[in-house]
Amino acid sequence: MKVLKGKSLKRNGSIDNLTSPKKNKRTYLTRSSTKNKTILNEGGTTELLISGDLHLEPNQGFWSELSEETASNLSESVVSLALSNGRKVLFTCSGIAVQREGYVTRFLTSASLAKAFIDEKEHHDNLKVEVRHEDNVVIGFLGEYDVDCNIASVNVQNFPDVQTVVFMNLLEFPPHVNVVAVGCDISGKLITTTGELNCLSGSVPTVMTATCKISKVCEGGPLFDCDGNFLGMNLSFSTEGTLFMPKVRLLEKFWQCCTSLEEVKFPKEVRVEESSNGEIPNSHQEVHQDLLNEYGNGNLGSLGYPEPPKSMLNDGVILANNFEEPFGDICGRGVWSELREAVASNIHGNIVALASFNGEKRFFACTGCLIEWNGCTTILTAASLIRDSYLANKIVENLRIEVLLPNKELAEGTLQHYNLHYNIALVSVNDLCATQPLKIQHRWRDNRELLAVGRIFKSGKLMAARGLQFSTVVTHDCKFLGYTTCAITKAGIGGPLLDFDGKFAGMNFYDKYAGGTPFLSWDAILHVLEPFKTKRTVADAGHDGYASHLLDWTIDGDHSVKFNRWFVPLPFWSRPDDLERYDCEMRSRRPKFVQCVIGGTQVLV
């Protein structure tokens, strides 16, 4: 594949700024009618120079056939992309939301946007890409692109209310199936046109056609079937119909052309000091300094941390993979303000922090939540709290467990039950009672925005990171995991995944290099907990009597022949630049797969 790195906007690992906006500045475009010739922004008016019908009415018949949930997902996955010089709109097309991690969202579109940028860059010095979804408009930054493969990416920060398309459950392309091409014009209005696929059964070429008649503004937008399944990206309209890139091929080009979102760097003048989900870029250094100030005289070992090498003390070293690293928004800020007061209060009262100790040395720290189980209040957490770091099916015996309660009091915890295969543990505290503990049996809607919640044992800070569930297939041993874009740290292991009504969706784990946060869903957890009701506790059975070397605890549908491994990265000291290179290398080594069906055969690409 030929990637135009010489002409791309990547220089020295960063992305060129297509404008010079102030930090966190947004440009708000007014809705325009078919008669409007200008749009308003914060700097005056922008003249529309785009020809063609940009204001086609959405196909009402098509939308009426969809469920409310499917229609919402479709409409939230497409945006308008407008290239302008700050005064005139020079080019416009549509884009597809394909990836979201933390506060960064990536859109894919056709390479026509990159071509327009290259052509217009010779005549304009202040080019920018305005990304619009409904009334939300932000400045985007052109990322990698490949003109030969007709694909380009646009990255944005802090862009709410978009739904990434799902590449999983890829189907064959049967001929004459009904489809709809979706686009978004510069006013934020959706444009849809229906048609049929023109293809041979089972064939998945690089480019396919449909009978939909799209306008230029729909180039780069998504193509769906009438069940809401994402089929591909619209490229252009020809005499044969609308040309589109099937999602199988789009996915191939995407992985080849685009880097990880974690490696995307925005211009310094627009880089946020604290993201919308509260991620604090300098938290490594803050944690490092606090730890050295308090434990700098050879006492870091009591927290389970190695001492920093003396040769590195003057190099601004940081302690990677520690248990004190915050994530998301601290309680009372950011996303917490979007929750109803009763919901926020209930979350606060049900989240605890736990730490296990081997003698006086801390072994592990994580989050837990108070649940209603078997007629009493119990703490649900991760079995990483007591698992042997080197043996997947062993625990470290005789660990002391301390629980930091919501009122900041410390209490002694007792291990009741655990399942190392699914990384679940139950811990009790004498006389512990919650007014309204979390109920695992509550159902939740897959399309809702979610919160990963955690509490730091040492500081007691309560945190929440927002995100959405996304579909992926990675190489984790446990096949029952889902993934969200909620960005957490090790402190969030064992914490609950909740919706914005406070309903329990699952329990979070930590995989730094998977591109998302893994979680075990509420229904799987219920299946894991069920045998505990009749099983003797650890204290009653003893460690030898409770432990099992056979997979006799697996839930229905699990055909595992060995224990799942739950790798948690160990803490270590590093120079910041070395850590960044190390993380990039580890991410590149991590295989990433998406399940596809090509020509009737299920494959991983």
Two tokens, residue 438? 């979390």
Tokens 């229609």, located at residue: 71
Which residue from 439, 429, 574 is spatially nearest to 505, judged by alpha carbons?
Answer: 439
Architecture of the domain made up of 300-546: Beta Barrel (2.40)
Secondary structure element (H or E) that encloses residue 579, with its range: helix 576-589
Please, which residues have CB within 8 angstroms of residue 399's CB and are 6 or more apart in sequence? 356, 357, 358, 363, 385, 386, 415
pLDDT given for residue 290 in this prediction: 63
Pairing status of strand 318-320 against strand 329-330: unpaired
The answer to whether the beta carbons of residues 521 and 482 sit under 8 Å apart is yes
Q: d(Cα 408, Cα 411) in Å, to the nearest integer? A: 10
Residue 350, beta-bridge partner list: none
Architecture of the domain made up of 10-30+37-267: Beta Barrel (2.40)
Q: Which residues of the chain have pLDDT under 70?
A: 1-67, 69-70, 168-174, 199-204, 256-257, 259-263, 265-299, 310-315, 390, 392, 442-447, 472-475, 548-552, 585-605
pLDDT given for residue 247 in this prediction: 84
Residue 128, beta-bridge partner list: 84
pLDDT given for residue 162 in this prediction: 82
Using DSSP, state whether 483 is helix, strand or coil.
Answer: strand
Pinpoint the alpha helices (H) of 65-129.
68-75, 112-121
Q: d(Cα 281, Cα 489) in Å, to the nearest integer? A: 13
Q: d(Cα 77, Cα 161) in Å, to the nearest integer? A: 9
Which amino acid makes up residue 563?
F
pLDDT given for residue 262 in this prediction: 65
Residue 179 C-alpha from the chain's centroid: 28
Residue 329 C-alpha from the chain's centroid: 16
Q: d(Cα 425, Cα 396) in Å, to the nearest integer? A: 14
pLDDT given for residue 175 in this prediction: 72
The answer to whether the beta carbons of residues 377 and 371 sit under 8 Å apart is yes
Tell me the CA distances in angstroms from 245 to 107, 235, 448, one per residue in order: 15, 7, 29
Q: d(Cα 99, Cα 106) in Å, to the nearest integer? A: 5
Q: d(Cα 108, Cα 480) in Å, to the nearest integer? A: 29
Residue 246, beta-bridge partner list: 232
Please provide residue 387's backbone torsions phi and psi, each rounded to the nearest 5 degrees.
Answer: -75, 140
Q: d(Cα 507, Cα 514) in Å, to the nearest integer? A: 17
pLDDT given for residue 51 in this prediction: 31
Neighbours of 6 (CB within 10 A): 5
491-514 burial, b at 16+ Cβ within 10 Å, e below that, comes to: bbbbbbbbbeebbbbbbbbbbbbb
Tokens 């080849």, located at residue: 256
Per domain, the residue ranges of the chain are 10-30+37-267, 300-546
Residue 602, beta-bridge partner list: 597
Please, which residues have CB within 8 angstroms of residue 231's CB and are 6 or more apart in sequence? 173, 179, 197, 222, 223, 224, 225, 244, 246, 247
DSSP notation for 328-391: SEETTSGGGGGS-HHHHHHHHHHEEEEEEEETTEEEEEEEEEEEEETTEEEEEE-GGGTB-SS-
Q: d(Cα 226, Cα 335) in Å, to the nearest integer? A: 34
Two tokens, residue 331? 């309680």
Q: d(Cα 561, Cα 46) in Å, to the nearest integer? A: 63
The answer to whether the beta carbons of residues 395 and 546 sit under 8 Å apart is no
The answer to whether the beta carbons of residues 343 and 469 sit under 8 Å apart is no
20-41 burial, b at 16+ Cβ within 10 Å, e below that, comes to: ebeeeeebebeebeeeeeebeb
Q: d(Cα 566, Cα 383) in Å, to the nearest integer? A: 9
pLDDT given for residue 400 in this prediction: 97
